Amino acid sequence: MTDRFVVSSTPLSGVKSIRRNRVGDARGWLERLFCRDDLAFAGWIWDIAQINRTLTLRKDTVRGMHFQTAPYEEAKLITCLKGKVFDVAVDLRPSSPTYRHWHGEILSDANDTTLLIPPGFAHGFQALSDNVEMLYFHSAPYAAACEGGVRADDPALAIRWPREIAEMSDRDRSFPLLDDLDEDSGQ
């Protein structure tokens, strides 16, 4: 823990919930989103290769579950700048004791929480409000040849989305089920 960040473990090894502490006065506030030295305490050991910002227009939309394979496996820091989401990480590391388990957490513009997701996980979220803005810090650049995903509605994962899924991209719907992904990779 630092004075800027309070770090909590989650049920998934390596995935951390990070509460950002705001500093303010009569003029307003300052909130640090990233500090390499402070976040090393939480387990962030990577350089930042890419930063993305997304807008999801309608609540109940699901994005995910996305990952990248070697040599572009990536760690992510996920923050909700506007609105509210149910953010999910799925452990895809076959040697992990939490392999095929998921963890979900509410991120919002009101709770000042960031999720740290190390390499070897799929990530996705469900918008719980309209006009959600998300900010992603990535440890590797996007590489289309290394892009992968699993279905967010996979019965084997049984992710308990808070609301019925109203919208998902054709690309995300076309991802394989986890059992099919395991067969394809020989795991």
Active-site annotation, residues: 66, 136
How many CA atoms within 13 Å lie on the side-chain side of 132? 27
Tokens representing residue 156 in the block: 């084997």
Residues paired with residue 30 on neighbouring β-strands, in sequence order: 23
CB atoms within 10 A of CB 23: 10
Tokens representing residue 67 in the block: 């990952």
